[in-house]
A = this chain, B = another copy of it.
């Protein structure tokens, strides 16, 4: 991306998994991912070499990192080191999280 300013409202959504879409924005070192999740959507346990930091913005979810599961509410922060297994299940209302990855997840560009 060659510009400094973006509107998430104007950005097309990229499907990730059933009931889960993202809007991504990136520089050279980081990719920002604004993820919208339907109620009860789930991301199976997985890992990637990229470090991931995020904050819940809307809704509630059960987030598992390295075998530890926590109930996450808006304002909660999570840090997933590269290579560490993680996944989540959304509660009974839609959720939104914002995350950053470093290095850039090339497969999340569109």
Contact = CB atoms under 8 A, between A and B. Distances in A.
Interface string A81-95: 110100000000000
Interface in A55-89: 55, 57, 63, 65-66, 68, 70, 72, 75-82, 84
A25 B77 contact: yes
Top-6 shortest CB links A-B? A100-B100, A6-B77, A4-B65, A29-B102, A29-B51, A8-B75
Given A5-B65, A5-B77, A29-B82, 16 more contacts: A1-B79, A4-B84, A5-B68, A6-B78, A6-B79, A7-B75, A25-B77, A25-B79, A27-B79, A27-B80, A28-B81, A28-B82, A29-B102, A32-B77, A34-B55, A100-B102
